[in-house]
Amino acid sequence: MAIGAVSLAVAKACAMLLNKPLYLNIALLKHNQEQPMLFMPLLMVSLISCGKSSSGKLNLMKEVICIPHPELTTKQGVEMLMEIRKHINKIIEMPSPPKAETKKGHDGSKRGQQQITGKMSHLGCLTINCDTIEQPLLLIQEICANLGLELGTNLHLAINCAGHELMDYSKGKYEVIMGTYKNAAEMVDLYVDLINKYPSIIALIDPFRKEDSEQWDSIYHALGSRCYIIAGTASKSISKLLEQGNISIPKSNGLIIKHTNQTTMSDLVEITNLIDSKKHITVFGSTEGESSDDSLVDLAVGLGVRFIKLGGLSRGERVTKYNRLLTIEEELVQNGTLDTSSSSCDARIGGQEQETMTLVKV
């Protein structure tokens, strides 16, 4: 249980003795002591949650995640997402429509659009009640339109499907919406339809549980050129991945890696090198039960991962990490060691440049 903590403590002590920031110490470890240009990982910020923990009928979307355009700085991305979050809060706080407008259903109960309500989750974002797959996406789409932002241009979406949480083992099917069940093959069709309807979604995280390897293959071949298929919980542990040297089961474009109790700094360097060599995407994620230690951010920058997933822009343990990310970006700019070319547009992420925004720290 202490391996990961001890390894991180050694890395921190080494950085202090060398009078270097932790992220640079990790980068030197990764690049055999040759000082590289560093780039900032792209943000994956959870805006809302409407999975099984919500009071609505929708189970599919444990996290609706926003990814700012890669040509934006981290400062600009955080500022934009804070504005979107503020508008979500306003909608959540809106009063219910007058009772006179409600209609009665066939059973005599009141029928109509359910008021969107929410509460803060441990993910640092609002958990809201939604009854359809479209509802949370239309909510964000409407807010972006009101702010003069365009989904698919200024920012993109990712969905954490948390497929393992949707499975009803008594029926052998995924419960996408309360009372609505789909088998694994039907889930592939659902995801293809979703991406066709909302092309601004450029990543699906854990669309299936890891046992459904055939469906992972199917969705990869159907959507892999248009959308990142990312294995998080469905992926094996870092130690097993390194032992087997195979990151292609389940079939995916990328993996979410985390610094856990069993993971050393050398393990993280080795696994990111392996993922890079396979032309996969690395997402560095936070673990459940996060502390306020912001070292995770230094690790992500030093390892040169493509994305960083820290949850929402609320709760102290997450806000601390976002502020550390902003501080590192400022240091790299001041030192002239920020590689802006590494954040150039990917084939899945295109569009025009966003004008500069003024930063207000989280």
Catalytic positions: 261
Residue 341 carries which DSSP code?
Answer: G
Q: Is the dihedral of CA 250, 254, 258, 262 positive or negative?
A: positive
60, 176 contact by CB (below 8 A): yes
Which of 299, 221, 287 shows the shortest CA–CA distance to 253? 221
Cα 113 from Cα 260, distance rounded (Å): 43
Q: Which of 335, 342, 341 is nearest to 20 (CA)?
A: 335
Give the span between the Cα atoms of 88 and 128, in whole angstroms: 10
Q: How does DSSP assign 214-258, residue by residue?
A: HHHHHHHHHHTTTSEEEESTTSPPHHHHHHH----SS--SEEEE-
